[in-house]
């Protein structure tokens, strides 16, 4: 009798352990602050995953490069030492070269055009290119249009950039384009940028208003020019093996959670774009709004000719002309 009670007790104990371990914890990271468009993205994603899987999956969120810069986080996801990452596409072409085309300067007319391309057949086809590289790309989200800041002078024309030392993302397309504008490029992971600007290692950087605000670059940069030279997507990446282990219903839950998070992320970018100029002016930045974009495009003509050779003019035109 005692033995049977003991066995029942053990069985119950094991049952409790099994139900506790049924909750799987995964990690997701960003390089920016929690109070940012990227923070909104991963916080929404974590909440939605937990809700859609009835609490069986819990997503731990990490901010400010706590698990490394974007490139390191993507590498960790590829290796499977980290399950998820949310990143700008800055370092992504180093892993999935097909995505380079999205970084061509002045490719997108506006956010509506960029979002339509990413949500449509072109963007969805690009998501499938990640599978062979050890990733499951869940959804495109957004960083926004990138603008230039520096500590030296107002930038209205491409000529004003000549000789400025600018931090760039670790992205071959950006580096080629900025060299074409006469910038001295310094590729650098995002968590290092504030200190590099503060110490004068670089004169400037370029990022969307959302990032400039959340990173408090107004504290170390005086001049902002609304160049809008590159549209910067973000992406939800998951380790492919981790995704493949999910049930069909849970796979759908993760993808739908990423889509819901993208909506929240884009709404925050819109809000930051609407308030950003006034906010940064109030913090002492000089903001140049009337940038001669046609002059920038003309200056980049030789670089764009190279991009057309590299990516195919038809492929670039398909994005430019997408309705």
Q: Which domain holds residue 24?
A: 2-318
Strands 286-288 and 165-168: unpaired
In a domain, 278, yes or no: yes
In a domain, 323, yes or no: no
Distance CA 217, CA 279 (A): 12
In a domain, 150, yes or no: yes
In a domain, 233, yes or no: yes
pLDDT at 4: 53
Q: What is the CATH number of the domain that holds 89?
A: 3.40.190.170
Neighbour-count burial for 87-115, b at 16+ CB within 10 Å, e otherwise: bbbbbbbebbebbbbbbbbbbbeebebbb
In a domain, 83, yes or no: yes
In a domain, 204, yes or no: yes
Q: What is the pLDDT along the chain (323 residues), one digit of tens a residue?
A: 445 554 445 555 554 444 444 689 999 999 999 999 999 999 999 999 999 999 999 999 999 999 999 999 999 999 999 999 999 999 999 999 999 999 999 999 999 999 999 999 999 999 999 999 999 999 999 999 999 999 999 999 999 999 999 999 989 999 999 999 999 999 999 999 999 999 999 999 999 999 999 999 999 999 999 999 999 999 999 999 999 999 999 999 999 999 999 999 999 999 999 999 999 999 999 999 999 999 999 999 999 999 999 999 999 999 999 99
In a domain, 289, yes or no: yes
pLDDT at 170: 87
pLDDT at 63: 97
In a domain, 30, yes or no: yes
What's the structural domain count of the chain? 1
């Amino acid at each position: 009798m005692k033995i049977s009670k003991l066995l029942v007790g053990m069985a119950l104990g094991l049952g409790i352990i099994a139900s506790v371990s049924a909750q799987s914890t995964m990690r997701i990271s960003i390089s920016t602050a929690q109070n940012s468009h990227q923070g909104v993205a991963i916080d929404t994603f974590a909440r939605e995953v937990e809700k859609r899987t009835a609490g069986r999956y819990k997503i731990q969120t990490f901010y400010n490069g706590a698990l490394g810069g974007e490139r390191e986080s993507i590498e960790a996801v590829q290796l499977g030492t980290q399950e998820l990452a949310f990143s700008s596409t800055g370092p992504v072409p180093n892993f999935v070269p097909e995505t380079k085309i999205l970084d061509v300067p002045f490719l997108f007319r506006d956010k509506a055009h960029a979002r339509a391309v990413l949500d449509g057949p072109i963007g969805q086809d690009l998501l499938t290119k990640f599978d062979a590289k050890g990733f499951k790309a869940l959804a495109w989200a957004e960083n926004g249009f990138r603008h230039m800041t520096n500590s030296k002078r107002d930038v209205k024309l491409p000529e004003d950039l000549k000789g400025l030392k600018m931090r760039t993302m670790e992205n071959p397309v950006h580096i080629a384009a900025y060299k074409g504008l006469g910038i001295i490029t310094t590729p650098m992971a995002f968590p290092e940028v504030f200190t590099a600007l503060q110490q004068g290692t670089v004169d400037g950087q370029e990022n969307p208003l959302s990032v400039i605000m959340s990173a408090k670059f107004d504290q170390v940069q005086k001049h902002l020019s609304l160049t809008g030279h590159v549209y910067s997507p973000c992406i939800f990446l998951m380790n492919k093996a981790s995704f493949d282990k999910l049930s069909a219903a849970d796979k759908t839950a993760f993808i739908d959670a990423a889509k819901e998070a993208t909506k929240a992320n884009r709404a925050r970018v819109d809000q930051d774009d609407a308030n950003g100029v006034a906010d940064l002016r109030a913090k002492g930045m000089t903001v140049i709004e009337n940038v001669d974009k046609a002059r920038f495009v003309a200056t980049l003509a030789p670089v764009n000719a190279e991009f057309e050779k590299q990516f195919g003019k038809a492929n670039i035109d398909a994005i430019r002309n997408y309705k």
